[in-house]
Amino acid sequence: MRRLRLPLPPAQFPLVWEPGDEVELRPTAELEARIAVLHLVLARCFGMPPEVGMSWLLGSHLVEAVTPPEWQFVMGSRGDHRSFVLHHDAVFALAWLLGLSRHLDPMAATDERLMERLPHLTAGETFTQWRSRTLAAPRDAAEAAAVLDFYYCLDWAYLEAEREGRRLPGMIDSNAIGQRRWALEWAVVFRGPYHDPPPGWEEVDLST
């Protein structure tokens, strides 16, 4: 963060985890389902008809993986369109966790080849077919936890830098950093006496 010339979190900044905690990633199938649903939501943002989206969800057996706000948007375009568009960077973070992207560099925008590695919705590629084509290789949980810790600090730093009117170090802003953190917070699971059960996608707390 010093190299990026960003403000550093205060000394009392809360820790992501405590000594002795265990860490793991959510099951690969759950990560894949989440990235596929978000990919579909983004497709709806950019013109996919609702009936096509519903048909794909049914054919891929992913209806239960859709959250209530996502369902309302996919089926009736209800909700904050801009907030769903921002999920592009959450997809990028999930792709990194699944080994579908080589980097999660805060200085760079998303991987240019990312779309090629996601389900080909317009071609009718189902979730099962996509999983067979991609052969995900999830990151080590400890590596993912370290990157989560980095993005946890970056989220605070980018918001502080924007508040102070500082020039940001790269091509993306605090919204993109927050979306990447959202995906990492959801995907990385800590086990220990100070942790609640893993939250649902809509329950991830980014307030700290």
pLDDT tens, residue by residue, 50-98: 999 999 999 999 999 999 999 999 999 999 899 999 999 999 999 999 9
* pLDDT for res 112: 79
pLDDT of 187 over the 90 cut: yes
Domain ranges of the chain: 26-134, 141-198
Task: Write out the H or E segment, with its range, that includes residue 74.
Answer: helix 68-76
From the list 61, 60, 65, the residue with the least C-alpha distance to 34 is: 65
List the structure tokens of 44: 């709806």
In the predicted model, what is the mean pLDDT of the chain? 94
Q: What is the mean pLDDT of residues 125-130?
A: 96
Contacts of 206 (CB under 8 A, 6+ apart): 155, 178, 181, 182, 185
CA distance 97 to 188: 9
Task: Write out the H or E segment, with its range, that includes residue 159.
Answer: helix 141-164
* pLDDT for res 199: 95
- Contact call for residues 79 and 72 (beta carbons, < 8 A): yes
